[in-house]
Amino acid sequence: MLSSSRATGRGRRTVVAALGTALVAGTLLATGPGAQAAPWHHRPAPEHSRHHQPVMRELTPQVRAQLDTAIRSVLRTTKTPGVTVGLWAKGNHDYVRAFGTADKATHAPMSPGYNMRIGSVTKTFTVTALLRLVDHKQVRLDDPISRYVPGVPNGDHITLRHLAEMRSGLFNYLLDPDFGKDYLTDPRRTFSMSEMLAYSFKHPVAFPAGSKFDYSNTNTVLLAMVVQKVTGQPFDRYLARHVLQPAQLHHTFMPHGTEFPAPHARGYTDQTADGSIGDATDRNPLGGPSGAMISNLHDLRSWASVLADGDLLSRATQAERMKLKPTGMPGLSYGLGVFGNHGWIGHNGSLPGYQTVVVRLPRAGATLVVHTTSDIAFRGKAPATMFAKAVTSIVTPKNVYDIPVAPPARD
């Protein structure tokens, strides 16, 4: 969650993280009062030893035991109810484990077979849908958004590329106080894409298009509207037919409201009106094309490869997607709906009750998927980030996944 730091106050921070604006700050809660900047500890291996270290350690029984211990330690430290971790590598053994509970009331064990809400990982699907249209010559990345959606502030200068790479300068509707009030009043409410944009467009554009990186869910909503405009189809229908089906993802979809097919784990959050811990399972995940999708471990394993390898796109379009640019945060870069994190390629997601990391390390042929049943930050750090860092510190010590805690907002 590379987020804007414009939100202050408990109610606004609640909603800011509500939609999985998760990208590069671990959780948007980290941008609120009390969050501290974390020192950067990852150091490259000494020059003399680099050529003697494998990219990824073999998943021997000893390494598996280390992973079990590390994951259980993070589970205890963060008090996360449940987590699933999937790690796969070419020519290596798989590591797929579940820890903790899927339901604090029944104490049902966590399972790697559950459906999960994936938050901002949704953005990777939305941008892929747009890039399919680029390949079909139906849109161009350097088209202005005003060509497709009227009324966008600075719309004649903001291109589809700016939107996909989070450099539009458009206000993130999640940070609007009226949106926060409306959402907290009814967490099961469904907002249309036009309603979401209305919260954003009340605010001025923050900077000239292309000049800065600023993570905003507004961008992805607009891209979905472009897909609808050009194809004449509802976005979820086009997504299913032209992205999910070709990728053979049979357990991944865009919900219309609060539906959440069984089996699934329950999710817990402190993003509530009074700050107490509550059950967020049946909330509306909001955001549609920015953060509402549901998937499972098996599908996301496949999707990580599709995303990093460009299986659904032409070589030229995939090259455009993978033009990763600096974000201003150490070790983190962003392309078209995808990030680079210390060699790992993919995205993360966070929304009330759930966090996800879906990344691939191409040089090792390795894929990592993490699901948690809590978004409650530990000392400003996202639980999913802590699990992913623990795993990669052991198996890929030269490529440690991490997202630093953002500094506190100074409004």
Q: What is the pLDDT of residue 405?
A: 76
- Residue 2 inside a domain? The answer is no
The total of structural domains in the chain comes to: 1
Residue 237 lies in a domain: yes
Whether residue 334 is contained in a domain is answered as: yes
Q: Which residues of the chain, if any, have pLDDT below 50?
A: 1-52, 407-411
Whole-Å CA distances, 286 to 4, 49, 78, 242, 402: 18, 48, 26, 23, 26
User: 177 lies in a domain?
Assistant: yes
Question: Contact 32/401 with Cβ under 8 angstroms?
Answer: no
This prediction's pTM? 0.89
Instruction: Report the CATH number that the domain containing residue 99 is assigned in CATH.
Output: 3.40.710.10
Residue 279, classed as helix, strand or coil, is: strand
Domain annotation covers residue 406:
no
402, part of any domain = no
In a domain, 409, yes or no: no
Q: Which of 216, 199, 200 is nearest to 25 (CA)?
A: 216
Q: Which domain holds residue 285?
A: 10-395
pLDDT per residue as tens digits for the range 10-25? 343 444 333 334 443 3
408 lies in some domain: no
- Encode 122-145: b = buried (16+ Cβ within 10 Å), e = exposed: bbbbbbbbbbbbbeeeebebeebb
pLDDT in tens, 346-382: 999 999 999 999 999 999 999 999 999 999 999 999 9
